[in-house]
A and B are shown apart, each in its own frame.
Chain A
Amino acid sequence: MAERKKRYALVIDSRKCIACRACAVACRAENQVPLAYTRNWLNQELRGELPRLLAVSEPEQCHHCAQPACVRVCPTGASYQRADGIVTINDKECVGCRYCMIACPFDARFFREDRGVVEKCDLCKARVERGEIPACVETCPSKVRVFGDINDRDSKVAQLLATRQYRVKKSEAGTAPQIYYLV
């Protein structure tokens, strides 16, 4: 039997998020991201008015879209999507034209002035290849993030998506984002 195609994705239960930003710190340490930039971030907003005020915090990063706009517009093919769904950048091919940053609906990419290339979350592809989980997922103290292969029915992500309601951000952009936020 042919091996099933992998499709890595993140499921985020943002109601569990305590806004400690450990994910951002872990990412910075794992991927050596300088302080001026970040590969993942926290969207915080206040909903409602006193006395019924709700503080919402929602982690976000590259959505590893199934139809990534950044890959489509890259003139040199430096941005590419791997067979397992991870959207990443080949540093040596990147000329630093920053077109992908304009194309990304989530603003998940940044330009490294010092290296002259664009960087973004790659779901810690080196860790994933070793069979580990991304640094942000591993470090999250309140288990907001769940990482896994959505094509594997026994995985935690597939089970969550089968049993819980979820939404994706900016589905109208047509890029089929693969970070699922549980409602």
Chain B
Amino acid sequence: MTTITSTEPAAVALRDALIERTARGERFAGLTASRDGGTVTLSAYLAAPGRVDTLEAALPPGAAGYPSLTPAIGAAFWYERLIHDQTGIVPEGHPRLAPLVKPGDPLPRHVTGYGLFTIPHGPVRSGVFESMEYLVETPGEAIPHLNMRIFYKHRGVAGRFTGMTVEDGVLLAERAEGIASVAHALAYCHAVETLAGCEIPHEAALVRVTHAELERIANHLDVTMRLADAAGLAVATARFALHKERVQRLVSAMCGSRFGRGVVVPGGVAAFPRKRPAEILAEVAPLERQVTADMRAVLVTSSFLDRLRGTGPLTPARAREHGALGPIGKASGFADDARLTRPYDGYTELALASPGTHQAGDAMARLRVRAEEITQAFGLIRLALSDFPERTPPTPRVPLEPRDGRTVGWAEAPQGEVLYDVAIAGGRITSCQPRSASFHNLVLMHEVFAGDILTDFPFIEASFGLSAAGAAL
């Protein structure tokens, strides 16, 4: 952790450091603020191969504002709005300082002109969706501008961590973004384990990989199902729903929860899977065959592909500039997969192939990335389980005593990298700031509607594959 001390105001020094280091190729990965009495401290995260650095800038006591980072670091746009909501401190010069997780009036229309109107879409959606509101500004078909309001689901998860025991914290992390329970639990536990300086048992690391990859497969199948549903491809929708259900049933047979909850705990895993590795592999094999075959079929169904090609394009330049995470970044030629560049648990030893290069950045490319990740995930599960000893190993977890301190843990969720900035004192959490990939990526939806029309909306939303719960926390 680097604390910036400079004669310049701290926030300016922070901004300059961020500009310099992102220019060197490091990725801006988030910004949070904490208030301690009258002092607000900004913490920015920079991801580089092998590490995530935290840059801190303590604002002068009683400061009401600081020069906004957003004009220089565009990806800070939502982070600074969030900080304003949470601490009341004003990022001066922020382009649009509207509330993000606090209720606020709808923004005035961005695009004005004859015949333009706003379609409010949400927060109560049609069908089974998480609550969030899209305000679609349109002359009738094209979508020149889109606004999103995510505050409806804001639960105050970050604040709830404070005062929890280390052991309880992981339960909340699992429920921060329910569809990525394992990844959130992993990111949290990695931070705790770093503070404790402990090494988890080899077999526990393999179980973690297995569950994390099953979660990835389930999420990508869900996205594929939603895309097929949007295209009215009834059989494909049913097929992918069936595959997803089978994955969830396998997970529940292994641990009792359909979302892998209760598996990852600080120091390892709570228990080894109830099924033997050979049994799991015997179930995974036919599943892999069927998923692969249906994925191949969906990728040659022209009526389906017509809806995806060129839909919701994110340019490689924007993806790089924003540091787009997960499949969205990969589809636009920007791949920073934490499993590869900052490996953890079993990923340090299991060979993970570099992702294929995609440049198109459209819904089609995002689906291709997910198809590749599914194939890769099955491969990783096979590797992890064949490494697993036949006899039940002695212990699934090591006892740990986290030292007082603060650090960042990370994990690659199906949506992209998840960060947990955890501070512990006396065995209790003094602060915990989760940052989901959904939050970081969702803001990009503002910019992908170039040339797309209303009927493309479900495809773009599904292809992003994000969770409103994770975004609003």
Q: Do A and B bind each other?
A: no
The chain B residues found within 8 Å of chain A, CB to CB, are none
The chain A residues found within 8 Å of chain B, CB to CB, are none
